[in-house]
Chain A
Amino acid sequence: MVDKITLGYTHLSGCTGCTVALADNYGGLLTLLDKYVDLKYMPTLADVRHIQQVDVAIVEGSVCIQDKLAVEEIKETRAKAAVVVALGGCAAYGNITRFARGGQQNQPQHESYLPIGDLIKVDVLIPGCAPTPEMIRNVAVMAYLLLKGTKEQKDLATAYLKPLMTMAAGCNAACACDIMTSVINQGLCMGCGSCAAACPVRAITMEFGKPNLNRDLCIKCGACVAQCPRGFFNTDVISEYEAINEAIMAALQ
């Protein structure tokens, strides 16, 4: 179909959890592939593994800088994609691979892992470990609208994706302590508990109405501060939640 956008999926040092999250859209994924997306390459879900020219490249996993192939692949991904999406905590922030220090079989010298944003320019960030199927779906639909939609749809997609683009242009490290530094220290926390709910490893509990961080548990996925309504809150988009949710669900029918 001429109207589809082309999509690639580069898989670096990630656990395939992001791939599973994508696949967990079940019927929605099939609709995406039927109507909106031409999947050009992807190691697990497509026959083609080598990187090709695409509109949108999704990257799962961080880059091991001692792994020549990984370094080549991330650069090739950037060179051949109009839009690069860092999917999940590892690609976005390093996540659990931030704790790697080498010594594992059978490549003990593979000890340094970087979020892809340390090596290439990233356009859109989807934090979280694993990122949610719904978030991947929303970004996929919005990316389609951005590239193929009407003027109105383009505007909506731009507004929806803007905070994810701002995050991509910002810091390449995440931690539960972001809740301290960019929310509480900034006088913005109102104690809703979104951070605690979003944390995949229960590193955040609410004590006397404020987040209490157990930094030893934190895997640095970035979900907490991304979920925080005082992390970013684009009122113009979120106040239209009813219409946007309906549009996304209609697109997947």
Chain B
Amino acid sequence: MGAELGKYKSCVSARSTDKEILKGAQDGGIVTSLFAYALEAGIIDGAIVAGKGDLPWKPEPVVATTRAELLAARGTRYNISPNMSLIKEVTRSYGLDKVGIVGTPCQMQAVRKAQLYPFGLREVGDKIALAVGIFCMENFPYQSVLQLVEDHAAMKMEAVKKMEIGKGKFWVYGDRGQVVQLPLKVTHKYEQPGCHVCLDYVANMADISTGSVGSPDGWSTIFVRSKIGDSVWAKAMAAGCFETKPMETVKPGLELVTKLANEKISKNRKTLEERASFGTGKGLRNPYL
């Protein structure tokens, strides 16, 4: 176990046993199933998830307090959903005492900073009952996705059925069955700049983190990290929410996760170094110092 995958108690490949959830899931339906179970078991009162926004493929953070609301938020939309923006409101006007939140590695960092350094987040930190992190190489602004889909893939945003990043390509699936693949070389320049200083690929600070990388199609890789994560995962397993396979038995396996994590971290460490001497005798700010 290297530092690039963070601390974890266990790692498996898993898939939801819930057919309804799997139908609209990005991969193994892990996040939706976890929250649906936690909701049912009373572990959370609701969860902040990336719901549907006011434009096609634009996410909007929403507080899901029912299974139906969770189902409506299934799938990945490759642009920014500021889920942390609701972390205080969810305990106020929504009145939740046990909050679930899903997010990218940087959002999990924000969750933990909120718990240790709650400058403007009174009585929020101890209400975070389950933080689920998703693997993330980088994210895009909404307008970048628009540009990729409409300019590069020549498809209408409304006509897209699914987007996916995998096997070195950005895939756009149309609702008439058409598939366009863009090489990641094309997508790189549209990435959110703030992602280039991120040193976390697999959401090291989540209670449970998950992503497709490392597992076969339709399955997800899971890292169970914290005491909370361990307890929730054990209960969800006992309730039959997931079928699992030992990570060692699946292809491409942990090796690929490790490889991609190292690629991301070393690329972004280099960016941080370059930022330090960005100007002449002057650099850009390093948030980690």
- Chain A residues with CB under 8 Å of chain B are 21, 126-128, 130-135, 138, 160, 163, 182, 186-194, 196-200, 205-206, 208-210, 221-224, 226-227, 229-235, 237-239, 241-242, 244-245
Contact = CB atoms under 8 A, between A and B. Distances in A.
Contact of B116 (A21, A133, A241): A241
Given A187-B193, A194-B114, A229 B119 contact: no
A194 B194 contact: no
Nearest to A223: B120
Residue among A182, A221, A230 with max Cβ neighbours from chain B (10 Å) = A230
Interface string B47-74: 0000000000010010000000000000
Interface of B: 6-7, 58, 61, 79-89, 103-104, 106-107, 109-110, 112-125, 139, 141-143, 192-199, 204-205, 226-227, 275, 284-285, 287-288
A227 B84 CA distance: 11
Given A190-B192, A229-B113, A233-B288, A242 B119 contact: no
Given A190-B192, A192-B107, A238 B113 contact: yes
Given A187-B193, A226-B117, 4 more contacts: A190-B192, A192-B82, A209-B192, A226-B119
A189 B85 CA distance: 14
Contacts of B115: 241, 245
Nearest to B58: A208
A128 B117 CA distance: 11
B71 to A, nearest CB: 23
Contacts of B82: 191-193, 196, 206, 209
Nearest to B192: A190
A128 B118 CA distance: 9
Given A193-B61, A229-B109, A238 B141 contact: no
Contacts of A186: 284-285
Contact of B288 (A127, A135, A235, A242): A235
B285 A194 contact: no
A135 B204 contact: no
A247 B227 CA distance: 15
B84 A134 contact: no
Contact of A241 (B85, B103, B112, B120): B112
